Structures are given as structure tokens and as C-alpha cells.
Structure 1
């Protein structure tokens, strides 16, 4: 084991997604010596997958030699999609940057008594929009026109609007000097409208965290160490961490020659995402490394109450690919929001995870019956040829109050889900099926459900939240109003695990804004002796 006590850090950040990247930049700007540990690899634009068939560059599974940007974690009550790599979820997300509008989020009882969150977060949402380069999508093709038609049929035409996206919409394919940060950022290339954003942008147009927060953090001296997995965090002296911490990490995915390393740091920021942070907190509390952590670790886990459906046209010459991953949004009611999604020409393999549209009780039986009724549609081995070009995927999200618990499995370091108080996340949202059915009629095709949702009864989410939520006391949450872990000094959590409620929209901007707000309370590093 290599110890680095002589290179004591001011802050060590675990994770480089939206919460970790904000922490890296803001702490480095305040004069602190900062390092970031990221379990995934670092990608150049040319490293991303060209199509979804390139599983080695797309999927994450280090035990199988896969070190891509997308991790799939199947759990009993939900399947979770999450981003991996330097830049975290920004590598694979759909670029959409929404400010939550529902009071279900801002006034949820879990945190409502701590602040007027709509007012407190407003300036930080503005900062996050500026940093992530939010602009209004200007696409208006068949996919967007279909979305307007669905909204009109639902009686909410005014609820349709183009998305705010984090994409450089300059001249397509033309590279220019940094257009965002007065030349302090990297050169950027205008979006070429390929629609493959969620496979990883190969053209330099997507405003990933590598292009803004992390790039600027490095300019202020922050160091980023890729392919490092944290295995232990323990106080370096006094039990409350006020003397700092020793953080142990190993080379990701290795069984031998793991390059175990210990870093000594005055403070730690956890930002490994809801699954990663919750797993690490459970491990540290149960092993005795951080025994003072709240017993609420793993509670109040949200799925953003999502369902994923699709509609495919029967017209072989149709082209429903949008310019970028997500271009339109519809709010059919106060609690519900749905978007159109595309993976471009490279997304045909995604057709394998969709099957007949089902709903209500007995979904497995309905699923099989539809296959019997239309065997040529579902059993034809070439059915996915051109599927992505002829299909619109819909992500339907709600801000309703459903939740789960994440607990350690009996064996290994896996997490398992348990039912929590109140309703569990449902795999069937009637509004989602209605959207798919209406869209299918409009484009002249057929609707589809996720096969996992139909057969397993478990929803799929790309927006897992909670597990280390904000609370008034350690009996109610894991962190306080400033994202400080109860029971410890200089231990912050700044990712989606602290989020106390479903946001009902894609949460990336909210995670960023909440991290900005948390880091605004950390004072600058005191000046040393002259």
C-alpha cells in the first residue's frame, strides 16, 4: 500500500459527475488543494461508441472488461441506468436542463422547514444554466411535430415546449475558440445534428462536464485521477473527522496488482451518484470506519417515478430521428412530464429492450398474448433493422411521492431494494401508455413497453435519487441543510443522493444547482503565514 501523508490534500472528491464537478471547481477557485477520484475512465471525444453495437465503449462492467459510459444495475424493484467516467452522467445524459416547476419538490416535508428552496435555489439554477450552456432547442422535424400533436390530443397544447439543452449549437461541424468562458474553456465544435448524444458525443458539441466545470477546475490546479475505486474512508485522528480523513482507493476492476493507495485529506466530498454514494456510506458505517453516520442511510430513494415507452411507425421510409437526443417536452398536468428521445442511426439495438405495450394487471400474460397475435412483428430476427430511425422513445416522469430503500445484500458489496413507507414506484403509468398509443396512431405504427417493465414489474430509471437525503436531524436525514453529513466534520455530500423528493423532470440541472448552493457556504481557504 502506498501512503501519501506528506501530500495532504485540502479536499478529496469521490466522483466526477454533476455534484463532484461543481465541488472540484468551486473548491479549487477558493484556493484549496483538490483531487478528484473517478472509478471510470477518461474519454476523448473520439473514444465514444459509434453505435450501440459497440458495447465495449458503451457499457460499464469492469468484471467483464467493459469500461464504457453506461452502467445498468438491475434491482428487485427498479433497474437503474447511470453514467460512468470522468464527467459522470453528463457523458451519457440527454443534454436536457430543466428547472423543476412543481411544489411537490420545493415544498416536500422532508426539507420544506429548512428553507424557502424555490427562492434559495433560483440564483444557483441561473449559475448552473450559464455554466452548462443551456440554450433553447430549435429543431422542428417530424418528431417534434408528433409531440405537438400528442399534446393537442391530450388537450394541453400550451404544455408543449422545446427543451433547454446543454449543446453548442454553432455552425455544424465547425470548431471555434471557447464560446462560453472568455477563452478559458476548450475549443468547441458545432452540433452536427446526428441525434446520438446518449451514446457519447464524438463531435465535441455536447456540453459535458469535461468541457466546463472539470476543464476550469483543472485550470485552477485540481487533479483528476481516473479509474480509482474508493474502498475505505476513515478519520485520520479524532473520531468526528475534524483532524481529516484517510481515503483508501484501488485501481478499478483489477483483482491483482490493485495499486492500493491511501490519501490523507482535511475534507471529503462524496459525489458518486445515488447508488455509488449510498453503497459507500453503508460500507463505511457497517465496517466501523464511519460509525456515526445516520441510520437513515439508504432511506428515501426515488426513481423520479418514471416509465419508458415507445412508438414505431410501420413506414419503412420514415425518419423520426431528432437533431439531438431530446428536443421536446410536454407537461400534461402539474405532476407529469414527458419527452421524446432518440439514439440516432446507431440506436437499433435498443429495439431489443422493447416489446408489446402492456398495462394494468397481468402484464406478462398480455405481453405473451400480443406476441402470439403478431408473431411477425415481434419474432422476426431482423425487426430491429432501422428501428431507431422509425421510433420515438418517451420518458415519462412524475413528481409523485413514491420511494424505496437501499440496503446492503447479505453477501458481497451489492445493494438491494426494499419497499418503503408509502407507495412504491410503479412500472405502469397510465399516462405513459396513453402517450405511446396516441403517438403510434399519429405516426401510423404500434406502441411499445419496456420488456423489463412488462415481465418483471419493475420500472427503469436513469434518474435514481436519494439514499443520503437532507433532513433536520440525523434521525430524519443523512446530511443537514448545507449537505454536511451528520456526525462528522468536513464530510460533504453533493450529488443526487441528497435530493429529498422526485423532481418530475430530468434532474441534472437540479443536482448542479444544489451543489452550487452547498459549495457557496464553504469559505475560501485561509491565507497562510506571509
Structure 2
């Protein structure tokens, strides 16, 4: 591997492009790898032949713009090209609603949705992205743009329904420069960083072609903004480069293998290494990379592939709208695709509100789509064709001298009422993020359906039906809804952020748990639906990620993030503070012993006694062998928590056999709430054979009950297993298993032989430890006088 850079960015969507610009601007050497090609103004497909080849399938040497995925519960359309989804999105840049950053919100069927970041965390980054993309609402108040009937109709419907209406910010140039006088087809004044395409751009001509690529360059898409700025700061943007391999390097950093697609169909393998790797390949692209490379990344959290959502996307139709004068002209084939939005509040927004919130937006389309729709209006079209043919036949029979076909040809064409009075409606909002993404036979597979989100979709359809009724139109579901399938253009989740590795694949700054220097910067990191159009939130998230990546420091969520000018070793994950220092002060006394316990344990149980019963019945068990190390005995004896270090191994067949315990904490004889009670606590961090982090917690309860219970109390450990590395202040969530362990008598006798002391007076250290241990036991189990009984 001859080529090495500071950062490799995979993908040029909102996460990848923002990251490329921020890191290049900071002076880092950046290579951006994009699987698709560049699309300068005028290069987007328009003819049938061009459209036929405008799909992405490199196995068939197709390298077009649209990548269409089909899964059991939905279909999805994403893009391949320099600029990612911004090439085909509808330009809306809305901030996520403040109250919709939910925290531990229960979900149907179990689990919860939680956002470990807030609106306040993202607001400064929203500001930064808006300064770059300069969004502005559709200029309905300007005379040249005021003739937009569907925008006015949506406002009328929102008012009648008592709902919020707005013209959302659009990343579209309506004026030659931000804040200038709007006009159609004006030459656009470029920013100081220039434009990577080197082509003249022109302001919006209201052609409705936003979703198939803007040939005027009127969209402030990422190639015209962030990527042009990144190139200005010497980022190396390589198109037609499809990443396939990710491998962590033993000395830190990552190796990235990719295919370089040649115009003649030849593919060449390339490799590059980097100190930092940022994944911004879009939800499907990033998930495909992580799942495909999981054998090379064995410590990836079990959260990989979870919390997938379609952001509540739903497409329906408002047909044949009418007003008091007859047909209502909506003119959906004019203007940018989206010009308006109606907001329906969520139960989290305040008292008296029920249901999950959503947005309804109008959806324009290109003029040629109107021709296709009218031609597809089969009954009307057949009647006109038969009428035209009959007239021609009669003229031929009676040998009419009339040779004028003008009127007959005009009658052959439809009056256009169907398309002029109809408009698609787009819904999006807070569906249930319970999808699971896996690899199956080499293909990405998503298990998500509308079933658990049925209540949400019922609410969206009810709002759309209300809009249709207010505007005198007919409501129609998308034909796919007959099988409860949807089309989403906003796939999110699968590599969710979380407060710890049991909850998320990456921390709330995008760094992947267990893999320092590996970041997720796109929509796959969203832990649930954004609600409104997610592009701005993804971009702001990536901007925040870059602040952390460039600034370094300690993340309170589990990653040690070093500034980029420092070397990052592969092992620099969250390191809990050492419980008794690193070896103690020079010359201090230390002591250690080895403890072995075994018992019955069952996955799927949450209570230790029940886990013991089930484990005993099914012959399932768990055992461990731990070395308890007190590295500063004086500190240990003075500390009421009597904290020591625990390392060793744990064996459980259901978890894959013997697993190393590289870190653990042990508390000996901690005072309880009552004077005659003591407790021993265990907290062990380990990873299963697949690299998924786990935590075993356990406690021994010492209390003098009736009968001889000293032996059973000190040798019985009640344990629970949790996903993720759970720290002392963390909420552990639901256990994944539970059971009860015991010290056998022969193991206890063996344990006594393992006591080792260090320091200037080893025998004295053992004596001091023994006095403390036996003294605490005497306080619990020794005979009590009358004053102790009161």
C-alpha cells in the first residue's frame, strides 16, 4: 500500500460531503471515494434511451444515477453520483422538531427510541449548513413566481384543517445570488471557491425536474457547494470508485479497498490507507460495507443492523380537485417539486395531542410525466382513439373532400383536466424504527414492514384524505398500499448512535464503538425517524462529528477521541478508570487472590433465581475464574467501597465458550442500608466471539438470617448479563440472561492458596487484609448484645 492519507471519506451524500469539506479546510489530506460519476449541468438523462441506461447495476455495466432497492415491506430509491442524494432530492432543508428528539420512548413490541443528542446540540451546526447551502422558501410573493396554485391550495387546506402551514426552506437558487432579486434562468454568481464542474449555472426555471437531476444547475446540490469547496481546499474527489473492503491496521488506521470502474466496463482494484475513515455512503451503502466487512471488524456492536426506519414516507394522490368555479387548477408540473408543507403535531408536543407527528407536502413533477399520466388514462384514451379512427373510416367510405385533420387531431389529445387538477402528496414523519438489516446470500436484506407503524400510517392517510376533501378532490392510495408496501426515499438507521455500545453502533459523535478513527456520518447513524426531510439533520450531524474529530478530547459517551495530529492506536477505545491506580504508589503494599465460581445460567431470563431454575433444567451454565487485584492496600482499606480490579476469563457455551475478561471491578463487603448487612459487587466487561460487548454484573448479599447462613451468603453470587459495556452510571436496560453462581468447597480451599502479597511486609499485608475481612463478617454474623437487638 503505497498511498496513505489522513482521511478517506466514502460517499458524497450529505454526511460525506460535509465531512470532506470540513476536514480538507482544516488542512488534512482527504481522498473522497464515490461510486457514481459526475453530473455537470446538462448531463442528466432526459430521452428514453438515456433514461433506460440511467440505473445503477455495475454487474451489468450500468453506472447510472438511480439505484432502486426492493425489500419485503418496501421499495426504496437512492442515487449514485458525485453529490449523492442531493442530486435527486426535493431540496427541502428543515430542522428536526425540538420535541421529536425523544428519549427512551417505548416502542410497540418492545425496545425504545432514544436520541442521545438534542436540538440544542445540533442548532449551531444547522446554522453552519444553512450558511453554505443558502436555502430560501419558494418566493410566492414575487410577481414572477406568484402563479403557483398548488402552493396556495395547500395553504387553504391547512387553514381549513387547523394545521400549521409553511413554505419550507429550499436549496434552490431563485436569484443570481443569495438575497438577490428572483428571476428565472438568470446566470448564477458562484461562491469564491468556484465550481468543480466549471459549467455555468442558471436559476430555477420552474420545470419540476428536481427529482431527476437539474440540468440548469439551479439546485444548490452538494457538488455545487460542499464538494466544490472541498476540492478548493485540495480534497481529491474520485468518482466511479466503489469501496468494497475495510480492514483495521494493527498500528492504527484503516486499509480501504475499492473498485475503479472504467468507461469501457473494465474494473481495477485499488487500495489506500488512512488514519481516519469516514463512512458517508448513504444508509444502504454504509450498512452494506459494515455488514460485508464484519468478519474484519469483529468488535462491531450488536446494534449494527437495528433501528431501521423509512422516516414515515408515504406517497398518495389528490385527484380531480374542484372549487366553486369547477375544475381547480393545481398545475403540478410547474415549479420546484416541493413548495409547501403541512405539519401535524405529535403527542410529545404537548397536552391534548395524540398520535405520532408527520408532515404532508405537495409533489410537483416534470411536464413529460403529465403526458405519460394522460396516456395511461386508458378508458378516456381508448374512447378518443376509437372516435378518431371511426371518423377516418367514415371519411374514407363516403369519400369526403375534407382534408383538414386539425380539429380531429386536437380531439385525439386529452383536455389535460386529469393532470392539471391532480397532485401527488408526500407524507413523512415518526414511524416505528424497528427494522432489522442483515446480509443474506451476499445481498442486503431489510426486515421492516408497515405493521407496527399501522397507527402512524393511518394518521398520515387521514390527513391526506382531509386535504383532498377540502380541495374538492378524490383521495387515492398508492397502488403499492394494497399490499401495505411503501416507497421510501429516506432510508435511515441500521448503524444507530447510542449512549453505549449496547445501544448504538457509534457514539453521539459518530465514532464507532471499539474502532477508534472509524466514523459513520450519514443517515444510517440516525437512531429513529427524523420526521421532516432528513437531509439537513444528517448534514448538521456530520458537521458536529467533524468538530469532535478535529478537536479531539474525551467523549462522555465512550470514545477516546484524539485530535487528528496525534496517532491513534487501534486499542484506544473507552478505557474505564483503573479502580486502584496503576500499580499503586512506589513501595505500596498490594494483595491478590484468585476466585472461581460456577452455576446455572439461562439467556432470555432477567431474574437470577429464575435463570438458575431454567439453566438447571436445560443444563446450561456459566463459570468464571477471576484474579482480584488490590494494588494499593492502604487505599483499599481506607475506602468504604473497598474497590479492587478483576480480570480473568468467563465460560458460557451459549456465548461461544471461554471469553477473556480484560477489565472488571470488584467491591468487597460494602456497607448496606442496615448496620448488619454487607454486599459484594462484581462488574465484568467482556466481548463474545463475534466481538459484541457484554457486561456481567453480580452481587452477594450478606445478612444474618435464622440458621447457619455465613457460608451460603459469602459463596452465592446472583448475576445478570447485559448487552454492551455498561458503566457504573449507565442505565443497563433489560438483561439478556441471568443465573446464580456458587463457590464449591474445593474451589474455596484452592482460593486460599492463591493469596499473594507484595510490598515491604507481605505477611503483614495478609494479616491486615484478614483482620478487615473477618472483622466485617463478625459485624454481620457475630453474636449481638441486647443493645444490638433494639
2: CA distance, partners of 1:126 / 1:429: 32
Q: Is the 8 A contact 1:177 1:183 kept in 2?
A: no
2: CA distance, partners of 1:253 / 1:76: 34
Q: Is the 8 A contact 2:135 2:171 kept in 1?
A: yes
The answer to whether the aligner puts 1:91 opposite 2:87 as a matched pair is: yes
Match of 2:43 in 1: 47
Superposition TM-score, scaled by structure 1 size: 0.84
Q: 2:565 aligns with which of 512, 526, 529?
A: 526
Match of 1:447 in 2: 475
Q: 1:169 aligns with which of 144, 162, 174?
A: 174
Displacement of 1:214: 0.1
Match of 1:474 in 2: 501
The answer to whether the aligner puts 1:346 opposite 2:375 as a matched pair is: no
Name the CA shift for 1:426/1:351 in 2 (closer, same or farther; >3 Å).
farther
Displacement of 1:324: 0.8
Name the CA shift for 1:432/1:282 in 2 (closer, same or farther; >3 Å).
same
Match of 1:329 in 2: 341
The answer to whether the aligner puts 1:21 opposite 2:33 as a matched pair is: no
1: CA distance, partners of 2:371 / 2:20: 36
Q: Is the 8 A contact 1:74 1:80 kept in 2?
A: yes
Alignment of 1:36-185 (within 5 A): 36-50=32-46, 54-56=50-52, 58-107=54-103, 114-115=116-117, 117-139=118-140, 140=146, 141-156=148-163, 159-170=164-175, 171-178=183-190, 181-182=191-192, 184=194
Instruction: Name the SS of the counterpart of 1:100 in structure 2.
Output: coil
Displacement of 1:427: 10
2: CA distance, partners of 1:126 / 1:437: 35
Q: 1:269 aligns with which of 278, 298, 323?
A: 278
RMSD: 3.2
Displacement of 1:472: 1.8
Q: Is the 8 A contact 1:345 1:388 kept in 2?
A: no
Q: Is the 8 A contact 1:427 1:457 kept in 2?
A: no
Match of 2:216 in 1: 203
The answer to whether the aligner puts 1:399 opposite 2:430 as a matched pair is: yes
2: CA distance, partners of 1:313 / 1:65: 42
Of residues 103-112 and 375-384 in structure 1, the stretch that sits farther from structure 2 once superposed is 375-384
Name the CA shift for 1:72/1:521 in 2 (closer, same or farther; >3 Å).
same
Q: Is the 8 A contact 2:332 2:363 kept in 1?
A: no
Instruction: Name the SS of the counterpart of 1:6 in structure 2.
Output: coil
Instruction: Name the SS of the counterpart of 2:545 in structure 1.
Output: helix
Name the CA shift for 1:327/1:113 in 2 (closer, same or farther; >3 Å).
closer
1: CA distance, partners of 2:300 / 2:419: 46
2: CA distance, partners of 1:298 / 1:9: 29
1: CA distance, partners of 2:540 / 2:288: 24
Q: 1:376 aligns with which of 361, 375, 379?
A: 379
Displacement of 1:106: 5.0
Name the CA shift for 1:377/1:310 in 2 (closer, same or farther; >3 Å).
farther
Superposition TM-score, scaled by structure 2 size: 0.57
Q: Is the 8 A contact 2:11 2:35 kept in 1?
A: yes
2: CA distance, partners of 1:471 / 1:330: 31
Name the CA shift for 1:427/1:87 in 2 (closer, same or farther; >3 Å).
farther
Name the CA shift for 1:51/1:114 in 2 (closer, same or farther; >3 Å).
same
1: CA distance, partners of 2:72 / 2:170: 33
Match of 1:282 in 2: 291
Give the count of matched residue pairs.
489
Match of 2:439 in 1: 408
2: CA distance, partners of 1:378 / 1:281: 50
Alignment of 1:478-517 (within 5 A): 478-517=505-544
Match of 1:298 in 2: 305
2: CA distance, partners of 1:380 / 1:85: 43
Instruction: Name the SS of the counterpart of 2:445 in structure 1.
Output: strand
2: CA distance, partners of 1:309 / 1:437: 9
Q: Map Cα deviations across residues 25-79 of structure 1 (whole Å, 9 max, x no partner).
A: 0111111111111111111111112378852364333445543322221100221
2: CA distance, partners of 1:282 / 1:379: 51
2: CA distance, partners of 1:436 / 1:271: 34
Q: Map Cα deviations across residues 444-489 of structure 1 (whole Å, 9 max, x no partner).
A: 55332222222x3212111110000001222211001211011112
Displacement of 1:183: 6.0
Instruction: Name the SS of the counterpart of 2:538 in structure 1.
Output: helix
Instruction: Name the SS of the counterpart of 1:519 in structure 2.
Output: helix
Of residues 55-64 and 511-520 in structure 1, the stretch that sits farther from structure 2 once superposed is 55-64
Match of 1:418 in 2: 447
Q: Is the 8 A contact 1:83 1:92 kept in 2?
A: yes
Displacement of 1:433: 3.3
Displacement of 1:216: 0.4
Name the CA shift for 1:398/1:22 in 2 (closer, same or farther; >3 Å).
same
Name the CA shift for 1:381/1:92 in 2 (closer, same or farther; >3 Å).
farther
2: CA distance, partners of 1:349 / 1:478: 47
Gaps of at least 5 residues in structure 1 are: 355-373
Q: Map Cα deviations across residues 326-345 of structure 1 (whole Å, 9 max, x no partner).
A: 00000132311110011121
2: CA distance, partners of 1:306 / 1:453: 12
Gaps of at least 5 residues in structure 2 are: 106-111, 141-145, 176-182, 322-326, 347-356, 386-412, 551-562, 568-790
Match of 1:433 in 2: 461
